[in-house]
Amino acid sequence: MTADQATARAFVEELYATHHAEIHSYLSRMLRDHELAADLTQETFVKAFRAFDSLTDPTRARAWLYQIAGRTALDELRRRRVIRFVPWNGESRATVESAEDEALQGRFTSELERALAVVPARQRMAVLLSEVEGLSGKELAEALGITHIAARALLARGRESLRQGLVVERARAAVEDSRRSAREGARSVVPPRRHRDDNGRRR
């Protein structure tokens, strides 16, 4: 706990007014639970107040907040042993067009959610912070608590994991569509009507 509590409180209150909405949105996507995200948003800012002395550069407060929020989310996810995401309908910063880019650019389907479910937690965090929250490379590194080079490598692995997950999900979806079409085709086949001849026998 900082010795200068008045300064810490005023600074964190200003951060809360500026960033609480985006921190809540980020936690909601990580946890897929808006009420829990609201609780953890409050917890994030309480932790920020307590860790105020660890912020050496106030100009980097946003990345510092995301680092605290990310650790808070990971602690909760480890406790629950489950990671889920909320569909996102915003704009992505990504410039490289690919299947995962298109998905992150507003077509956040159940297919993508299932693909993200197999991406390791730290990789998912990197993807969300970069592509959804719009953190720069330097901010991403600070939010993850690693070097810039390590952050870039983690993001690259996350995007590759997501790409592979999407390939698997699309293959699975194609098989399901094929089976569904076959079932519908079978139901649509109508057996020929049988007629009776003059003696009343079916033919």
Cα 24 from Cα 125, distance rounded (Å)? 15
- Residue linked to tokens 């730290």: 122
Residue written as token pair 């510092």? 64
User: CA-to-CA distance for 186 and 182, rounded, in angstroms?
Assistant: 6
Quick one: fold of 1-86? Rna Polymerase Sigma Factor; Chain: A (1.10.1740)
Q: What gap in Å lies between CA 7 and CA 13, rounded to an integer?
A: 10
Distance CA 198, CA 130 (A): 80
Length of the chain: 203
Looking at CATH, the fold of the domain delimited by 90-187 is given as Arc Repressor Mutant, subunit A (1.10.10)
Whole-number pLDDT of residue 113 = 73
Of residues 185 and 191, which shows the higher confidence score? Answer: 185
With a cut of 90, say whether residue 88 has pLDDT above it.
no
Whole-number pLDDT of residue 196: 59
Q: Give the residue extent of every domain in the chain.
A: 1-86, 90-187
pTM: 0.63
Task: Answer yes or no: is pLDDT of 10 > 90.
Answer: yes
**Are 159 and 151 within 8 A, CB to CB?**
no
